[in-house]
A and B are shown apart, each in its own frame.
Chain A
Amino acid sequence: MAENAERSEETLYKPSPKSIEREKQAMEEEPKEDLSSLLLPNLNDLPQNPPTAVEFNFSRYFLPDFTKPGHDQYIYRHANGLCVIGLAQAHVALKEEGGVTAVDFNVGKSDRSELKVTGKRKRNAQHFESNSALCKVCTNDNFYIVRCCVKGSLLEVNDRLIKQPGLLNSSADREGYVAIIMPKQGDWLKIKDSLLSYEDYVKLRGLL
């Protein structure tokens, strides 16, 4: 699925050859019935648990112990090159009692939540290194720095985390993403081979 996602940035699940045949037949019939029968799916094509939007549209990569032990992060890379950065399942902050309580984007030299990127070319986006800080994630007793993981332009940070830090506890792999970065092709290729696939990460951390 991930391989396919690299090629087809926007495609959804494809029906089986059988239902394509059924569709063809339906098209010979009258227009009114035609439309409804065309729309209904073939039950055989419906999986119990379909792939998620993330699984389908992105290639998931993982960086265990990034700069520090236990600081596991993920990069979801879209076919168009954009990278979504976030905390991986076994990140040490997510294991603490009470989980994440606050998120602060004011780290390093600027407040990352203040940046305003405009235009198609996104020329005014700030450039960061892979170990630049994105934000500070606070728990009851500690705080942890989340970093970029890949060198590139910072397009957006998830400022919803400011008001709803709990998103990291409930869905760090989806709505709790931290930022979106646009790396240059060359910078991505440099780090690509050092990253773990989802399967390898799961094995490493003994999850599932």
Chain B
Amino acid sequence: MTSPGPAIEWQTALGNAKLCLPPCHVIRDLLSTGVCVRCIFRLSGIHDRDCYISPINESELISVLEEQNEIKCNSTTSTNCCVCLGVLCPSCVVPEKPGADLREISSVNELALLISDMVKGEQYRIDEFSLEVSLPPVITANERALRLYLKQKYEKEQWFKDSFLRDHMSVKDTLKLVLNASLENYLAVQNVETLSSSFRIRLTYSHSETSQKLQSMLPNGHDSKKRERGSRENGSSKNCNEPDASAYRVLELIEDQNFCAQFQVPPGKVDKPCQLVVACCRTPTYIGGRYLKYSRNVSQSRWIIDDERMGETSVEEIIGENVRQICQGDGYKFHSAGREDIDVRMLGSGRPFLVEVSNSRIVPSSTEIEQISDKINHTDKKLVGVKNLKLVGAEAWDLMREGEAEKQKQYAALVWISRPLNVDDVCNLTSLKDMEISQKTPIRVLHRRSPLERSKVIHWMKIEKVEGTTQYFLLHLCTQAGTYIKEFVHGDLGRTHPSIGSILGCRAEILQLDVTDVKMDYFD
């Protein structure tokens, strides 16, 4: 078991650490209470990682302190620490798969390897990671109990007054200190401290036995039954999030006296170690760009009525699915700056959109993004196209929504009127600049929108004659966002006025509509 290299490292480390440790009689006391060696180190303010990864046990520690020369490397601790409940020993059990048998982890290395296998198994491609650790509130209670115990017993002693516990490290920080370096090794990437990496490894520890006791002990018992049931079910703190938060709150508020009355001081020994659930996940990946819709039979978002799909497919599905596939994500959400009807094409500049991919296994490189573009743009059917596709940050969502009401849109409508178009008509329409119109909620959406009268602006209009006809023409117009174009042409039974029909003094119908420009600064 002993190998010269590492042994010397931690022996030296231990030698230096001795200065921080409390006197021997205190250490014996702590050990017999059930506190593990690592908790003793961290409470004493030892920050040297080498001390923590040493496989030293209680008797060896005593030997070192009493300056006996032989240090034998032996088996690890056989009981679970009454403070950290095995989080630091580390000797926790991990469910390999939901419902499978539990597995014991007895060294940092083993834990790091397990985590790294999980990351590699899911085929994540990462260049950094963040470690998130969630501990059960009972550990905080344990630590408080231990501190109160020591205070009661030793507060008159010199070493206590000097500096004890002033420099101590929390269980969480100690675990991170110990684990990060090993993880960096196995994953071959850097750890990023403050959760700023998009790739998160979450360790959730729980201890049902003591947590239950804690919950029933503390005041605020009105939904204790619910919490008890939750924590008994699978010990994962995922189900206990709210009880955790309220437990921390109560612990903060409770005074030492009351605390000692309710809680065992020093904390009691435990039979079983913590349960650990390891999960890794990537924060959403955002891909933005502009889309074009060439088909008059493709809806913007998935549209299904009574199990039947409306239209051939949707922009959302074509783009979202392709992005999701290449990013190897679990799912996607599609957002866009406005939308158009199923039978309206989106041409010209295209409409800005954002795809949010959840838990993507890879963050696409620019080559991979080009791949997505190519895939969408070169399908047989050419229903939808994308341009300016690129990786964007989470703030892109706000950027897209910003000033939505001010955005101007440009359209081309194929209009028919009930009499031939003449020169005056053309002059009439093209001379109108920034014309205000009033639109009552169109009948076709009145079933799901509030009945209101909305004022909109038609900024300009241009007429393009259609050769070979007298009653058809292409109407190009630029309007305020939110204007119902179809209703502006046919008048919606007079509920939109003025309308093309009312301006020209005849009946007007719209046959086709295309969006030709969505004026927006971003995603260009």
Which residues 425-458 in B have Cβ within 8 Å of A in the complex? 440, 443-451
> Are A84 and B510 interface neighbours, CB within 8 A?
no
Q: Is the CB of B469 within 8 A of A78?
A: no
CA distance A204 to B148 in the complex (A): 98
Could you tell me the distance between the alpha carbons of A80 and B305 in the complex, rounded to whole angstroms? 12
- Tell me if A155 and B446 are in contact (CB < 8 A): yes
Tell whether, in the assembled complex, residue B444 and residue A10 are in contact, meaning their CB atoms are under 8 Å apart: yes
Q: Cα distance A10–B487 when bound, in Å?
A: 11
Chain A at the B interface: mostly helix, strand, loop or mixed? loop
- Which residues of chain A have a CB within 8 Å of any CB of chain B? 7-15, 23-24, 27, 35, 38-41, 43, 46, 50-54, 57, 78-82, 84, 117-120, 122, 155-156, 158, 160, 167, 174-175, 177, 180, 182
Closest chain A CB from B50 CB (angstroms): 65
Shortest CB distance A25–B (Å): 11
Closest to A53 in B: B490
**In the assembled complex, which residues on chain B have CB atoms less than 8 Å from the CB atom of A50?**
416, 509, 511
Contact A35–B516 (Cβ < 8 Å): yes
Q: Once the chains are docked, how many angstroms separate the CA of A163 from the CA of B47? A: 87
**Shortest Cβ gap from A55 to chain B (Å):** 9
A39 touches B514 (CB 8 A): yes
| Min distance, Cβ B308 to any Cβ of chain A, angstroms | 9
Within 8 A of A (CB), among B453-492: 466-469, 472, 474, 486, 490-492
B interface, how many residues as a size bin? 35 or more
Bound-complex Cα distance A8 to B444 (A): 11
B511 near A12: Cβ-Cβ < 8 Å: yes
Chain B residues closer than 8 Å to A167, beta-carbon distance = 494
Q: How far is the CB of A10 from chain B (nearest CB, A)?
A: 5
Instruction: Decide: B446 and A23 in contact? CB cutoff 8 A.
Output: no
Given contacts A80-B444, A84-B443, contact A10 B343 (CB under 8 A): yes
In the complex, which residues of chain B have a beta carbon less than 8 angstroms from the beta carbon of A81?
447
Contact at A120–B493, with CB atoms within 8 Å? no
Smallest CB–CB gap between A195 and chain B, Å? Answer: 19
In the complex formed, the residue of A with least CB distance to B451 is A117
In angstroms, Cα B382 to Cα A57, docked, is: 28
Residue B512 CB within 8 A of the other chain: yes
Chain B residues with CB below 8 A from A155, complex form? 446, 451
With a cutoff of 8 Å between Cβ atoms, the chain B residues found around residue A122 in the complex are 451
- For B469, what are the chain A residues with a Cβ–Cβ distance below 8 Å? 43, 46
Residues of chain B with a CB closer than 8 A to A119's CB: 450
Which of the residues B448, B490, B509, B510 comes within 8 Å of A120, measured between beta carbons? B448
B117 within 8 A of A: no
Check B450–A182 contact: CB distance below 8 A: no
Confirm or deny: B513 has a beta carbon within 8 angstroms of a beta carbon on chain A.
yes
Q: Of residues 481 to 524 in B, which have CB atoms within 8 Å of A's CB atoms?
A: 486, 490-494, 507, 509-514, 516
Q: How far is the CA of A23 from the CA of B294 in the complex (A)?
A: 9
**Smallest CB–CB gap between B166 and chain A, Å?**
61
Q: Given A14-B296, A27-B382, answer yes or no on A82-B472 (Cβ-Cβ < 8 Å).
A: no
Q: How far is the CB of B340 from chain A (nearest CB, A)?
A: 10
Quick one: closest B residue to A164, CB to CB? B494
Given contacts A53-B490, A117-B451, contact A12 B466 (CB under 8 A): no
Q: Which of B347, B445, B493, B512 lies in contact with A12, CB distance below 8 A?
A: B512
In the bound assembly, the distance between CA atoms of A62 and B440 in angstroms comes to: 26
Of the candidates A14, A35, A53, A177, the one whose C-beta lies within 8 Å of that of B509 is A53
Between B348, B448, B509, the greatest number of chain A beta carbons within 10 A of the residue's beta carbon is seen for B509
Given known A11-B343, A78-B444, contact A175–B450 (CB-CB < 8 A) = no
Chain B residues, CB < 8 A from A156: 440, 451
State whether A39 and B509 are in contact (beta carbons under 8 Å apart), knowing that A57-B444, A81-B447 are contacts in the complex: no
**In the complex, how many angstroms separate the beta carbon of B461 from the nearest chain A beta carbon?**
15
Residues of A within 8 A of B440 (CB): 156
In angstroms, Cα B447 to Cα A156, docked, is 12
Are B446 and A35 in contact (CB-based, < 8 A)? no
- The winner among B443, B445, B491, B512 for most chain A CB atoms within 10 A is B443
Contact between B472 and A46, CB atoms less than 8 A apart: yes
